[in-house]
Chain A
Amino acid sequence: DSGVTQTPKHLITATGQRVTLRCSPRSGDLSVYWYQQSLDQGLQFLIQYYNGEERAKGNILERFSAQQFPDLHSELNLSSLELGDSALYFCASSASPPGEQYFGPGTRLTVT
């Protein structure tokens, strides 16, 4: 158990819908990262937050957004969902530095 929690574990929704994924980092970690993992794209970094501020952006679509709240939990919002958005979405947290990341169990999103 890494100490990072993610909810929900599984999510099934239809195209065009909007969903929110939630992540609670390890106690004391200020950085939160979001990743998308699919069979064809591998592990893709989406976005990083540090103490409530956006720190780095990766391959995140405009239909996706995220935020980190004052209690340090983070939410990833996915809207206008497409079939291709079906994937595992991982959240990770770290104390910065040294950059070692602790991953949550992931949310499996299925878009039908």
Chain B
Amino acid sequence: QKEVEQDPGPLSVPEGAIVSLNCTYSNSAFQYFMWYRQYSRKGPELLMYTYSSGNKEDGRFTAQVDKSSKYISLFIRDSQPSDSATYLCAMRSPGNQFYFGTGTSLTVIP
């Protein structure tokens, strides 16, 4: 079983739609949960990170963690064409090891 599972997509939505991106994980010891955005020909950049179960909001982005289900989500409200990118979930273990998902490719159509 993979440490982190993420649907690679591709996901295509119209501008203004609400986007839901998800990952599941198998290791209950994971402590930090991150979402990275990667534009074409660029390195990943951190969007948000959370430590505990619950929601964290930043502008149009909401990160949600459910540790009991080992499930994390990223919601994008009022999606824009500039949100078109690959979104990577990542988790960190207590030993400071990072585990990444495969990334979900998102296209927001104007």
Partners in one complex: no
Chain B residues with CB under 8 Å of chain A are none
Chain A residues with CB under 8 Å of chain B are none
